[in-house]
């Protein structure tokens, strides 16, 4: 396993925190990871009635059960929530498009944390809603930052998150239901690039700041299928990738642990040295 020089402080501290047995060493490692030496970036869009979901999916709903002072004099708040698995910032488990492969609860936690490789394609995808991220995009990134290391979490920055507050711009259509699917337009990953990542690199997971790992106009969802048959999960609708450096960040992406789930809401964060 190789590590880039900027990721070493984060990676080393996290590994030390898990490996050390003596309390002073644990405390020192914890201070290095969670103290003022690290900046934590939340890469998650909040869930609300405004959260964008796939046009055919059930949107997020919050039902207020209680929100006020009880007859006994203390404040109490509680809600019911409901939603489809796939919407907002979420994880796609391999079983989503690969029969017999891992569901959400079967993905090893170790596969959901790792050094970030942030591949910026905004110059191409920012003006092209049907852009496909290519092998050349990854090779260009590697020419500047080195080979994508084993165990990396690849995060593709298309710039599409800037449209998050505008459903029409973000999805390419304001419509919902099955008729809207044909009108979807947003960037995604070229299946050939997915094959390259599976065959030529050893990444743990991949994510991007659009609604799907396949572009909006895909009808065969081939990038999903290629990645998931290799048990590589995907993160979709990732936020705030513009706050991360190309290398040097460390990602923790923990979904709701749904037994047998094909996906689920995701809280994804990154730590970067200050």
Of 36-40, 59-63, 114-118, 217-221, the poorest mean pLDDT is in 36-40
Average the pLDDT over 142-153 and give the result.
98
Average the pLDDT over 101-117 and give the result.
98
Residue 249 has a pLDDT of 96
Residue 197 has a pLDDT of 98
CA distance 12 to 25: 13
Pairing of strands 263-273, 90-92: antiparallel
Average the pLDDT over 124-151 and give the result.
96
CA distance 199 to 187: 23
Residue 26 has a pLDDT of 60
CATH of 42-57+84-273, one of 3.50.30.50, 1.25.40.10, 3.20.80.10, 3.10.20.30: 3.50.30.50
Task: Please check the confidence at residue 181 and state whether its pLDDT lies above 50.
Answer: yes
List, as one string, the DSSP characters of 205-225. EEEESSS-SS-TT-SS-HHHH
More confident residue, 126 or 56: 56
At residue 274 the predicted structure's pLDDT band, cuts being 50, 70 and 90, is confident
Residue 36 has a pLDDT of 76
Residue 33 has a pLDDT of 66
Residue 19 has a pLDDT of 47
More confident residue, 253 or 274: 253
CA distance 22 to 168: 54
For the stretch 10-65, pLDDT in tens is: 555 555 544 444 555 566 656 666 677 889 999 999 999 999 999 999 999 999 99
The domain spans of the chain are 42-57+84-273
Whole-model pTM: value is 0.90
């Amino acid at each position: 396993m190789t590590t880039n020089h900027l990721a070493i402080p984060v990676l080393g501290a996290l590994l030390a925190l898990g490996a050390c047995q003596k309390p002073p060493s644990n405390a020192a490692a914890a201070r290095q990871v969670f103290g003022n030496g690290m900046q934590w970036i939340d890469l998650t869009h909040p869930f609300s009635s405004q959260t964008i979901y796939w046009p055919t999916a059930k949107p997020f709903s919050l039902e207020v059960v209680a929100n006020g002072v009880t007859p006994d004099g203390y404040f109490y708040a509680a809600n019911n929530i409901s939603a489809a698995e796939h919407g907002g910032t979420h994880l796609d488990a391999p079983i989503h498009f690969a029969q017999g492969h891992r569901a959400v609860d079967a993905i090893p936690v170790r596969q959901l944390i790792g050094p970030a490789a942030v591949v910026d394609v905004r110059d191409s995808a920012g003006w092209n809603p049907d852009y496909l991220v290519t092998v050349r995009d990854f090779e260009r990134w590697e020419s500047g930052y080195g080979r994508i290391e084993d165990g990396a979490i690849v995060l593709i920055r298309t710039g599409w998150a800037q449209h998050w507050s505008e459903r029409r711009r973000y999805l390419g259509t304001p419509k919902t239901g099955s008729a809207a699917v044909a009108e979807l337009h947003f960037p995604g990953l070229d299946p050939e690039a997915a094959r390259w990542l599976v065959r030529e690199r050893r990444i743990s997971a991949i994510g991007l700041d659009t609604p799907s790992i396949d572009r909006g106009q895909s009808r065969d969802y081939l990038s999903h299928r290629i990645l998931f048959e290799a048990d590589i999960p995907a993160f979709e609708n990732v936020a705030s990738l513009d706050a991360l450096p190309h290398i040097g960040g460390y990602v923790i992406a923990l979904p709701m642990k749904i037994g047998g789930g094909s996906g689920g809401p995701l809280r994804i964060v990154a730590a970067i040295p200050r």
